[in-house]
Amino acid sequence: METGISATPIKRRLTAILAADAVGYSRQMSENEEGTLQVLAAQRAIIDRLIASHEGRIFGTAGDSVLAEFSSSVEAVRCAVEIQEALQTRNESVPESQRLEFRIGVNLGDVMVDGSDILGDGVNVAARLEGIADPGGICISSSVYDQIMNKLSLGFIDLGEKSLKNIARPIRVYRFNRSGEKLGTDRPKPPTRKRWLGVGGAVLLVLLAAGVWQAGLLKPRPAPVSAPPPLTERKNLVRPPETTSEETKLKLQIAEAERAKTEAELARARTDAELAKQRAAALRVERKDAVIASPTRATPTEPPKSPGTTPTPSSPAPASVPISGPQAAPPVSPPAVQPAPLPPAPAAIVSTPAPLTKTPPRALLLTDSDRGMAMRTCEAFEDQQAFNDKIPVRVLNNEIVIEYGKPGKPGHLFISGRPSSDGHLVLSGTIVAAAFRYRGEQHRARFEGAYRDGRYELNGFHGKRRCTMTIRMDSQP
């Protein structure tokens, strides 16, 4: 077993990663799919050509995003600048509907090599740098800046250390400046600014001390001595907003979670109320059928007890007169009237089909041969546009299963659930984010609703993104 482990060691190397992603791609796809794909193909041709000309290699693409590696940080930055300039030139020469801007991030780090794919923290940092870049802009890490400083006549602005999502340590970030300032002119600025701030603070303290001293000479009471406390109070008042803002964010997150939970409970309560109404209506129909059927069943048993009453069923008062007299016996002809009690048999047959109408709908009786289609509609979230699509549905072990994409890959969705006898359905599972900013992250997915009018209508979410889903089932041999 040890020899097997040592035979396949993990390969690592230091490389420069370039991450590029289109801005507003989802919105343009929802407006004009074919036109957007043509624009993307034209711009991807430019990007791929420039990457190859700078001896780079593309190792990952996901729709509108590109991941490439370079053996040189200088070539990676040169390629990023030329890509943005070429795309800007193209966008200026075409109508606005055919324009598409990209954000680019560049990072130098140690990565793991898995065949033709590259993994590791160095790739994730490049993706996060791309996420904070401006449309048509470039952001690089300090590791790249140190390599290209004094080697390229380009301008960069020091943005300071940034806390990037899912990155444990803060990263110092530099933004490309199109004004053309030379590299290295930005770093001396912070010390100079701090020096001037220090001098200004010292002068301000001297002036305040002089004012307090003069106030003490003019007034015999030491009232001015109490002037310094307000300064400390002001300092103390400046700090709480930071903690207050954090507490406020935490409270807002808790309130958002409670609101989502409340909405889900309300949706569940509404579904239960509708089901209760349907059950009550069904019970009322059954009771009416029982009331209608009970008199008809009693009619065939009553006439044999008093055959003399059959000639006058509509007048119960005169029926008591023939009983006391001998005239009740002579009319032997009433057997011709006795066929009237025969209808109770059909009445009993009519009352029996009523319970048969309460059988569950076809979609509730699931078998493994059943198939269907789910229409998914998701709201806009952050910089992602709203979308809708169709996903195949299958049945496995009497459970509805919805799976889309390849397991473990971005965009993979897997949710499943078994409907109850009353038509209530809960589908839960996971989804791997496909958006480049959250690429590869696993989020929870859950949908809940009921069966009505031949389909399941569900409400739910992907992570923090709200979606709805309509499922129609049909049997395929």
The pTM for the full model equals 0.40
pLDDT of residue 307: 44
pLDDT of residue 336: 47
pLDDT of residue 427: 94
CA distance 106 to 359: 62
pLDDT of residue 131: 92
CA distance 471 to 460: 13
pLDDT of residue 321: 41
SS3 per-residue string spanning 122-134: HHHHHHHHHHHCC
pLDDT of residue 116: 84
pLDDT of residue 202: 80
Q: What are residue 389's DSSP bridge partners?
A: 376
pLDDT averages per 10-residue partition of the chain, 477 residues: 55 93 89 88 93 94 90 95 94 85 95 88 93 94 93 91 89 87 46 64 78 59 51 47 64 82 83 83 76 52 46 43 43 47 45 46 68 91 82 90 88 91 91 78 92 91 89 69
CA distance 47 to 19: 11
Q: Which helix (H) or strand (E) holds 364?
A: none
**What Å distances lie between residue 123 and 58, 435, 439, 451, CA to CA?**
13, 15, 11, 45
In the chain, where the domains are located? 11-186, 190-237, 239-298, 363-475
pLDDT of residue 125: 94
CA distance 411 to 67: 17
CB atoms inside a 10 Å sphere around CB 178: 14
363-475: in CATH 1.10.10:
no
8-state DSSP, 413: E
Note every long-range contact of 459-466, with CB atoms under 8 Å and residues 24 or more positions apart, other chains counting.
459/264, 459/267, 460/427, 461/260, 462/378, 462/413, 462/431, 463/431, 463/433, 464/381, 465/378, 465/379, 465/381, 465/384, 466/378, 466/379
Contacts of 108 (CB under 8 A, 6+ apart): 14, 15, 16, 17, 73, 122, 141, 143, 144, 147
**Cβ(455)–Cβ(351) below 8 Å:** no
CB atoms inside a 10 Å sphere around CB 460: 23
CB atoms inside a 10 Å sphere around CB 470: 15
The 3-state DSSP class for residue 370 equals: strand
pLDDT of residue 7: 55
Candidates 348, 336, 344; CA nearest to 310 is 336
pLDDT of residue 193: 60
The 3-state DSSP class for residue 276 equals: helix
pLDDT of residue 180: 63
CA distance 442 to 439: 9
pLDDT of residue 380: 85
CB burial string 237-262: b at 16+ within 10 A, e below: eeeeeeeeeeeeeeeeeeeeeeeeee
Q: Where are the strands (E) in 32-97, listed by range?
A: 57-61, 65-70
CA distance 296 to 280: 25
Q: What are residue 109's DSSP bridge partners?
A: 15
Angle between helices 344-351 and 240-298 (to 10 degrees): 170
CATH of domain 11-186: 3.30.70.1230
Tokens for 90? 């193209």
Work out the angle at residue 192's Cα, subtended by the Cα atoms of residues 186 and 198, and round it to the nearest 5 degrees: 145
CA distance 310 to 338: 8
CA distance 295 to 347: 10
